[in-house]
Amino acid sequence: MKSVPYYTAFAAIAAGVLATTTPGGFSTRCSGLVQSFHPDQQTTVLVAEFLAKGSNFTDPISHPSCVGGFTGGSILADVCRLRLNVSTSSTSSVIIEAWMPANWQQKGRRFAMTGNGGLAGCIPFDDLNFISSLGFATAGHNNGHDGDTGVPFFNRPEVVKDFAYRALLTATKVGKKAVKQLYSQNLKKSYFLGCSSGGRQGLKAAQDFPEEYDGIIAGAAGNNWNNLMSSFSYYWKFVANGNNPPILSAEQWVEWRDEAIRQCDQIDGVRDLVIEDPRKCNLRPESRLCAPGKSWASNKCFTSAQVTFLRNLYEPFYGNNGTFLFPGFGPGDETITSLWFAPTAPQYTVDWYRYALLNDETWTVEANFDLDAVDNANRIDPYNISTYKDLSKLKASGHKLLTYHGLADGLLSYEGSDRYYESIVRRMGLPSTQLDSFYRYFPIAGMGHCATGNGAWYIGAANQYSGAPATTTETEGGVLMSMVKWVEQGIPPERITGRGFTADGKLASTKDHCKWPLQNKYLGGNPNRRSSWGCS
Ligand SMILES: *[C@@H]1O[C@H](CO)[C@@H](O)[C@H](O)[C@H]1NC(C)=O
Ligand SMILES: *[C@@H]1O[C@H](CO)[C@@H](O)[C@H](O)[C@H]1NC(C)=O
Ligand SMILES: *[C@@H]1O[C@H](CO)[C@@H](O)[C@H](O)[C@H]1NC(C)=O
Ligand SMILES: *[C@@H]1O[C@H](CO)[C@@H](O)[C@H](O)[C@H]1NC(C)=O
């Protein structure tokens, strides 16, 4: 925060808004939004309340699958909490929460929109709490339906439209109006940050409505959405053989995960459970094939069928006629087991096909999923949810995009982000040195899906605040404050600083992650120190 300009003097002379700078005045003004905030016919205020720093907050859980949406404990800053219902059509609506801090004027008058996860019907309260503690007015939304499930899409195309982009765009516009109403001032800069589905939302914004955000941060983006939904079931049904019989036990999967680390960890020169560049590792499951007469019980080795499964897991997912559809796993991605060993087909695929694509409740992965179904999904591509356009609108807007992806992401491989970046180089005909002016990509070694991992994974990003012990103090060098510096001071990020933690939450390491196509390079010395690493 040190490098951020403050506007204290400005706030002091803005006599008309002095009421908002005293605690009592702010609280009154906040609760008054119930009467005063009427941006349009579509918007209803559900709650307007002042939340004091340190007070407890209970997540108004809207669906059982949203349990745990607020894990942050207490409120980190004095905020005005506004809950809205905005109808987006005659058959759809979005629930929005805007959290606006009392010290907004002094902290640069920034607005930050948050994203969602999975099938996205849960408001990210932890993100709202954390981002507002940095002085941003921030907003989140349920993306047009409650819960991490696709059931609400059934025969409701307007709800799918909200999910694809409209809920985000609506929430952003209404959130900005709420900010103006509360503080009686225009905001200075607007940001977006999200991971996973939220990463896809960020890319959607960058592709289609970049004018809304000066800086967009898109993590582990689930773009190429239809193929992502299909890929879960491709690997479950065809590569893991419908898990029938289970191809590996959980114990065997853990052994394989450790084997991947054994084969790949040392290539970067440091044995630290972190594979700096999985692209450099030629993982070889065949090295663990049982010799005749040997078994898992006797030698912890794998059968030929198991080795074949493991080999195919790292192969891309190709469709009819050999069309590339989605990347396979990368070495080091073996951090999530549930998909491959679940007795039932991946729920995200089932929900997406049944309710969003086909409106057919009888559709099953077992009976109906094949490569023709995949082609059909790409043909339907509701509301262009694939999110795979180029970035010419973003370039023209002069706004910025920062993407990142954990290199140990067990849900959707970093290779999707690599491929999107390279596709932009080719489609726009711009080398990295030119893309750098508006689009930068940072692979994060040792980070899992959006958060956690063996590496320096905490980068001040979306979906990270609950699990990170250092959240409230250290954000400089992370993605959000690096984006602020890029937008507001014209200083673009060359590296993103990450922090790693011990099992009991102590700071264990710091590392600067390099901007693609540069890679983290060990220079020597204590590998837990930033100074021991460079980019080349
Ligand atoms: C907040 O909740 C915690 C744990 O439930 C409790 O110990 C604490 O007393 C509460 N604080 C306030 C201010 O209500
Ligand atoms: C939001 O508004 C819609 C009508 O536009 C209504 O159907 C829905 O029940 C409302 N939701 C809540 C939580 O108030
Ligand atoms: C694959 O080839 C067949 C026959 O040429 C064609 O009808 C079909 O559209 C192709 N599918 C894709 C996904 O390209
Ligand atoms: C999808 O994108 C294409 C190309 O930009 C556009 O022509 C089409 O109208 C879009 N479809 C929808 C439903 O938004």
Atom of ligand 4 nearest to the CA of 384: 1
Total count of residues recorded for the chain: 536
**For tokens 């036990």, what's the residue?**
249
Active site residue 409: yes
**DSSP run (H or E) holding 170:** helix 167-183
* Beta carbons of 23 and 102 less than 8 angstroms apart: yes
- Does 390 qualify as catalytic in the annotation? no
* pLDDT digits 0-9 by tens, 86-126: 999 999 999 999 999 999 999 999 999 999 999 989 999 99
Taking the centre of ligand 2 as the mean of its atom positions, its distance from the CA of residue 95, in whole angstroms, is 8
Pocket lining: 56 vs ligand 1, CB cutoff 6 Å? yes
CA pair distance 348, 119, nearest whole angstrom? 7
Q: Which of 37, 152, 55, 159 is nearest to 98 (CA)?
A: 37
The CB-side HSE value for 416 (13 A sphere, CA atoms) comes to: 35
- Decide the pairing of beta strands 110-114 and 137-141: parallel
79: β partners: 51, 101
Which residue type does 499 have? Answer: R
Q: Could you tell me the pLDDT band of residue 22, with boundaries at 50, 70 and 90?
A: low
Q: What sign has the CA pseudo-torsion 291, 283, 333, 511? A: positive
> 164, 226 in Cβ contact below 8 A?
no
Q: Residue whose CA is closest, atom 8 of ligand 2?
A: 93
- For residue 16, is pLDDT > 90? no
- The model's pTM is 0.93
Q: From atom 2 of ligand 4, which residue's Cα is the shortest distance away?
A: 384
157 CB under 6 A from ligand 4? no
pLDDT tens for residues 149-167?
999 999 999 999 999 999 9
Structure tokens at 437: 């002016």
pLDDT greater than 70 at residue 73: yes
Q: Whose CA is nearest to atom 1 of ligand 1?
A: 56
The span from the CA of 404 to the CA of 461, in Å, is 10
CA distance 245 to 39: 57
Helix (H, G, I), strand (E, B) or coil at 165: helix
420 CB contacts (<8 Å, ≥6 apart)? 203, 221, 223, 224, 388, 403
Other CB atoms within 10 A of residue 312 CB: 16
Residue 9 has a pLDDT of: 29
> Ligand 2 site: residues with CB under 6 angstroms?
85, 87, 93, 95
Section 193-209 average pLDDT: 98
The answer to whether residue 470 scores a pLDDT higher than 90 is no
Beta carbons within 10 angstroms of residue 390's beta carbon: 15
- Do 334 and 256 touch, CB atoms closer than 8 A? yes
Instruction: Kindly report, residue by residue over 43-64, the tens digit of the pLDDT.
Output: 999 999 999 999 999 888 889 8
pLDDT digits (tens, 9 = 90+) for 391-433: 999 999 999 999 999 999 999 999 999 999 999 999 999 999 9
Ligand with the closest atom to the CA of 85: 2
In 196-307, beta strands by DSSP E: 215-219
Query: Which residues line ligand 3 at a C-beta cut-off of 6 Å?
Result: 319-321, 323, 375
User: Which ligand sits nearest to residue 161's alpha carbon?
Assistant: 4
- Mark 317-353 as b/e (b = at least 16 C-beta within 10 Å): bebeeeeebbbbbbbbbbbebebbbeeebbbbbbbbb
DSSP label at 489?
A: H
Name the pLDDT band for 15 (thresholds 50, 70, 90): very low
Q: Which of 27, 133, 190, 196 is catalytic?
A: 196
Q: What are the structure tokens assigned to 165, written together? A: 């982009």
Give the residue from 44, 127, 146 showing the smallest Cα distance to 86: 44
C-alpha separations of 120 from 117, 124, 418 in Å: 5, 10, 24
Nearest CA to ligand 3 atom 6: 321
Whether residue 324 has pLDDT greater than 50? yes
Please compute the mean of the pLDDT values over residues 56-78 and round it to a whole number: 84
Closest ligand, as measured to the CA of 319: 3
DSSP H/E element including 309: helix 304-313
